[in-house]
């Protein structure tokens, strides 16, 4: 009978340094056991199930997660539906019904602070104990720190909310990248000489409102283009729900209805209300020039 995959188990939102350490642990087990490397993660995230009215908090969409996991050599991904049934499972029921019966894992790697089961009754130690009973090994990965602080998804969210792209990049191992479908807007940017690709971030965490130097590419494309983006409510032209507006430099194609990936490189300035459109256009020209300068000395993302 073929042995099941070595699985990295967790939320993997953002695929930060801590997540990558868990995946590397599973990779070592996969190589040692001669099995495939897999990831098992929850969809929707447990936090969304328990807090349905919580503001957007995801660091990446399922599409971005798919791309990132493929890039690090993950061979199979198990999306575990987190619903009332799973929320009610005891730690042992989860191990038997999900890890053994559904996934058939031979090895499971988790972070030191992993919790699971009804009321978060299970932890990494109980997972290891139950695994020994049910026939799969468990590897517990120690805390990963950056600048002396534990690397976590919540910590990355904090860096984004204050516009600290350098700290976010360090934790994520590359720039923070969002993807969304380009929508038709009011075409105001086009009239001002700066045609924008407008996107709603949906469940993605909202970064600090303001202007950023970014890279952008269409879904499926292999090359990134430099650009500048504003995330916010555009107070100068009339406030509305926060929107991501990306100006892709030297691009003349049609992006409407397409999925655009945007990599945030540097925060340039906060969003402000100008005295009129003329002041806004002057500021936008300055933003474009500054973004070009930042990106001229930067490498585009690898994925």
Paired tokens of 221: 């494309």
* Closest among 160, 150, 151, 152 to 55, alpha carbons compared: 160
**Looking up tokens 């709603």, which residue turns up?**
200
Query: What does the alpha-carbon distance between residue 232 and residue 46 come to, in Å, rounded to a whole number?
Result: 28
What phi and psi values does residue 78 have, to the nearest 5 degrees? -110, 115
Nearest CA among 160, 174, 170, 154 for reference residue 71: 174
* Calpha distance 245→199 (Å, rounded): 6
Structure tokens at 230: 């504003």
Owner of token pair 């517990």: 140
User: How far apart (Å, rounded) are the C-alpha atoms in residues 138 and 106?
Assistant: 9
What confidence score (pLDDT) does residue 277 get? 78
State in words which class domain 6-149 has. alpha beta
- Looking up tokens 């049609």, which residue turns up? 254
User: What is the DSSP code string of 155-177?
Assistant: HHHHHHHTT-HHHHHHHHTS-EE
Model pLDDT for residues 42-84, shown as the tens digit of each residue: 999 999 999 999 999 999 999 999 999 999 999 999 999 999 9
Task: Confirm whether pTM is higher than 0.85.
Answer: yes
**Per-residue model confidence (pLDDT) at position 235:** 63
Residues in the chain where the model's pLDDT stays below 70? 1-2, 185-193, 235-240
The pLDDT value given to residue 54: 93
Strands 137-141 and 107-111: parallel
- Evaluate whether the domain defined by 176-296 bears CATH number 3.40.50.10800: no
Of 287, 193, 282, residue with least CA distance to 232: 287
Sign of the alpha-carbon dihedral angle for 96, 98, 101, 105: negative
Under a CB-based contact definition with an 8 Å cutoff, are residues 278 and 222 in contact? no
Can you tell me the distance from the alpha carbon of 137 to that of 130, in angstroms, rounded to the nearest whole number?
A: 9
Give the number of C-alpha atoms closer than 13 A to the C-alpha of residue 91, restricted to the C-beta side. 17
Q: DSSP class of residue 67?
A: H
- Domain residue spans in the chain? 6-149, 176-296
Predicted pLDDT of residue 281: 85
């Amino acid at each position: 009978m073929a042995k099941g995959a070595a699985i990295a188990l967790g939320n993997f939102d953002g695929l930060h340094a801590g997540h990558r350490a868990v995946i590397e642990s599973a990779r070592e087990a996969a190589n040692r056991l001669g099995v495939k490397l897999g990831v098992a993660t929850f969809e929707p995230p447990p936090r969304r199930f328990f807090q349905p009215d919580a503001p957007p908090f995801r660091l990446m969409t399922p599409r971005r997660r798919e791309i990132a996991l493929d890039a690090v050599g993950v061979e199979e991904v198990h999306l575990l539906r987190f619903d009332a049934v799973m929320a009610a499972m005891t730690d042992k029921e989860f191990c038997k019904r999900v890890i053994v019966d559904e996934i058939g894992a031979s090895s499971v790697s988790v972070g030191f602070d992993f919790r699971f089961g009804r009321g978060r009754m299970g932890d990494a130690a109980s997972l290891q104990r139950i695994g020994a009973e049910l026939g799969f090994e468990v590897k517990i990965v120690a805390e990963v720190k950056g600048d002396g602080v534990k690397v976590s998804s919540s910590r990355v969210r904090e860096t984004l909310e204050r516009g600290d792209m350098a700290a976010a990049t360090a934790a994520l191992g590359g720039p923070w990248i969002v993807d969304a479908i380009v929508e038709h807007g009011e075409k105001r940017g086009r009239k001002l000489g700066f045609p924008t690709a407008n996107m709603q971030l949906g469940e993605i965490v909202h970064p600090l409102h303001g202007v950023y130097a970014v890279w952008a590419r269409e879904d499926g494309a292999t090359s990134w283009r430099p650009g500048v983006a504003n995330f916010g409510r555009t107070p100068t032209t009339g406030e509305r729900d926060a929107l991501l507006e990306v100006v892709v430099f030297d691009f003349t194609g049609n992006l409407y209805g397409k999925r655009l990936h945007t990599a945030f490189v540097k925060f340039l300035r906060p969003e402000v209300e100008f005295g009129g459109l003329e002041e806004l256009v002057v500021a936008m020209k300055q933003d474009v020039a500054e973004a070009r300068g930042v990106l001229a000395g930067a490498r585009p993302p690898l994925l």
